[in-house]
């Protein structure tokens, strides 16, 4: 009897250790068992202490009331060290002697960046799950959607609602509204880039093509492109067929991907037709890497707006709105630069919110060449004012203009502002998992190695797997 129990226990132990080594093998997986386990352990430890304060996610109940004289430390975590945060820390600490901002970042170099990034992600994930994460996080390198889904971030909408000193009209409301995910705003975009197309206005007019870039979708673009090909330039847009395909998929995204129903529709005839269409665009020269009518472009700052448009092939380049996906609706595209969230388990939420507000205030130093348009309209106005006062924007010494200054044009600046206020679609730093699968798999079709049907089937399988996880 005794021995039976002992041997049963032995079996349990043995199989446990077997299972443990079977999953401890690989890099990603090794981290998984260790991190997952430690996170689980710490989490169930802190569950008790947390129970009293109710559900922690989005709990901003104490947003406004806090003792301004209490000594606090706010931990602010970023992957890359960033000068503008150092500056902000110094300024803020000078104004609030009782607050210490602790900036945490990873010191790395090119050869280790990838490994360090992986480590940064897993440790931050584990810390967040365990309720021991930083108070403020810059989320460029972190899985923000997963954080939101698991209630690890504060809903900043609640903070805004309870804070009478926050005036929404001081900010680019379109950026603020469209940075929301799901039911709330979980990351504050400190600044943003504008995505668009730089096109040769004269060459386009010469072909007699007219379009309204405020309303055009990717299918409109594909249609107009037919009329442009063979004119002044050999190509219509400088890109690769894979990207063109993803753009066209975005036109009808809800047809191809049904996230709620966990279904994909990439093995449909319309997707195969779409692939053939894009391939034909490549064969016709619409899509190509040579000289085009349109370059996809990212505008980083008011100064950059002038130098970038002069830097391409023609003197008369104009900024156009990037065509939108039909499903997404009209509007331009922007990419958030520095998205900062507050950890749901932070003990100093009100103070963290106050510092976050400082980060998007117009007290932060501005310069028309600084990367990213500030979320704060007054800060943006200051940049524009200075640019007007300077009269010209200096270009980069290594750039195509070799450091020559570009004169500033007031009318064009107004135009820029109209683009900035019309940008409503956020673009992530990395393609989504579905986009990545389409990019990777469609290459074999466009290089003529596989049939459209075979590629469509592969994409369908992988996307289905992803949607059903």
Partner 1 sequence: MSRLRIRPFGEGTAALLFLAPSAIGFSVFYLIPFALGVLESFTDRTLGGSFVGLANYKALLASGSFRKAAANTLLFTGISVPLLIVLSLLLALLLNRSLPLRKWLQSAFTLPLVVPVASVVTVWQIFFDWNGTLNEWLHRAGAERIDWMQSDWSMGVLVLLYIWKNIGYDMILFLAALQSIPKDYYETARIEGAGALRQLRHVTLVYLTPAMFFVVLISIVNSFKVFRETYLLAGDYPYDRIYMMQHYMNNLFFSLDIQKLTSAATLMVGCIVVLAAGLLAFERRFRESME
Residues that bind partner 1 (CB under 8 A): 2-3, 7-8, 11-23, 25-29, 31-41, 43-44, 46-47, 50-51, 55-56, 125, 129-131, 143, 146-147, 149-152, 262, 344-345, 433, 437, 444, 449-450, 454, 458, 461-462, 464-466, 468-469
| Minimal distance, residue 86 CB to partner 1, in Å | 30
Contact 189, 337 (CB under 8 A): yes
d(CA 456, CA 444): 11
Smaller CB separation from partner 1, 3 or 168: 3
Beta pairing, strands 332-342 & 423-426: parallel
Q: Decide: helix, strand or coil at residue 112.
A: coil
Smaller CB separation from partner 1, 215 or 449: 449
| Minimal distance, residue 48 CB to partner 1, in Å | 9
d(CA 203, CA 214): 20
Q: What share of the chain is helix, strand, coil (3-state, %, to 5)?
A: 50, 15, 35
Smaller CB separation from partner 1, 47 or 95: 47
| Minimal distance, residue 70 CB to partner 1, in Å | 25
Smaller CB separation from partner 1, 227 or 263: 263
Smaller CB separation from partner 1, 398 or 469: 469
Torsion of CA 259, 264, 270, 271, to 10 degrees: 100
Strand partners, 392: 407
Smaller CB separation from partner 1, 37 or 173: 37
Contacts of 224 (CB under 8 A, 6+ apart): 209, 211, 216
Backbone angles phi, psi at 181, to 5 degrees: -125, 125
Smaller CB separation from partner 1, 12 or 400: 12
Torsion of CA 364, 369, 370, 371, to 10 degrees: 150
| Minimal distance, residue 165 CB to partner 1, in Å | 30
| Minimal distance, residue 383 CB to partner 1, in Å | 38
The closest alpha carbon to 194, from 388, 372, 387, belongs to: 372
Smaller CB separation from partner 1, 130 or 222: 130
* Cβ atoms within 10 Å, residue 465: 11
| Minimal distance, residue 246 CB to partner 1, in Å | 16
Backbone angles phi, psi at 193, to 5 degrees: -105, 155
Q: Around 427, how many Cα atoms within 13 Å sit in the side-chain half-sphere?
A: 19
Smaller CB separation from partner 1, 367 or 433: 433
Contact 193, 302 (CB under 8 A): no
| Minimal distance, residue 129 CB to partner 1, in Å | 5
d(CA 161, CA 164): 7
The closest alpha carbon to 64, from 161, 180, 177, 137, belongs to: 161
| Minimal distance, residue 379 CB to partner 1, in Å | 34
């Amino acid at each position: 009897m005794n021995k039976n129990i002992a041997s049963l226990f032995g079996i349990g132990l043995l199989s446990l250790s077997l299972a443990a080594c079977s999953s401890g093998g690989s890099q990603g997986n090794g981290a998984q068992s260790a991190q997952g386990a430690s996170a689980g352990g710490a989490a169930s430890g802190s569950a008790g202490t947390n129970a009293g304060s109710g559900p922690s996610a989005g709990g901003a109940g104490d947003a406004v009331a806090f003792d301004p004289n209490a000594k606090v430390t706010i931990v602010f975590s970023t992957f890359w060290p960033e000068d503008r945060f150092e500056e902000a820390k110094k300024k803020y600490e000078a104004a609030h002697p009782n607050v210490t901002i602790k900036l945490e970042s990873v010191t790395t170099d090119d050869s280790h960046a990838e490994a360090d990034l992986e480590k940064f992600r897993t440790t931050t994930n584990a810390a967040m799950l365990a309720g021991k994460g930083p108070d403020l996080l810059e989320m460029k390198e972190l899985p923000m959607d997963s954080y939101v889904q698991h209630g690890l971030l504060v809903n900043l909408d609640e903070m805004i609602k309870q804070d009478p000193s926050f005036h929404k009209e001081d900010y680019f409301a379109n950026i603020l509204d469209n940075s929301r995910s799901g039911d709330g705003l979980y990351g504050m975009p400190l600044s943003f880039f504008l995505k668009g197309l730089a096109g040769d206005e004269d060459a386009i007019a010469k072909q007699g093509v007219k379009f309204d870039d405020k309303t055009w979708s990717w299918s409109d673009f594909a249609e107009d492109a037919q009329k442009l090909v063979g004119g002044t330039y050999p190509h219509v847009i400088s890109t690769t067929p894979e990207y063109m395909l993803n753009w066209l998929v975005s036109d009808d995204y809800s047809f191809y991907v049904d996230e709620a129903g966990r279904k994909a529709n990439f093995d449909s005839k319309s997707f195969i037709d779409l692939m053939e269409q894009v391939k034909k665009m490549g064969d016709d020269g619409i899509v190509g890497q040579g000289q085009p009518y349109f370059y996809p472009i990212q505008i980083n700052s008011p100064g950059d707006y002038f130098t970038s448009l002069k830097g391409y092939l023609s003197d008369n380049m104009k900024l156009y709105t990037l065509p939108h996906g039909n499903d997404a609706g009209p509007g331009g595209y922007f990419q958030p630069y520095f998205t900062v969230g507050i950890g749901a388990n932070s003990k100093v939420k009100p103070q963290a919110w106050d510092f976050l507000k400082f980060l998007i205030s117009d007290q932060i130093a501005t310069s028309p060449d600084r990367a990213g348009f500030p979320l704060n309209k007054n800060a943006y106005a200051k940049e524009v004012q200075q640019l007007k006062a300077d009269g010209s924007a200096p270009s980069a010494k290594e750039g195509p203009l070799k450091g020559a200054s570009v004169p500033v044009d007031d009318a064009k600046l107004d135009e820029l502002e109209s683009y900035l206020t019309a940008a409503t679609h956020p673009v992530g730093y990395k393609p989504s998992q579905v986009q990545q699968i389409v990019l990777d798999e469609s290459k074999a079709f466009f290089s003529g190695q596989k049939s459209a049907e075979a590629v469509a089937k592969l994409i369908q399988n992988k996307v289905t797997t992803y949607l059903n996880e």
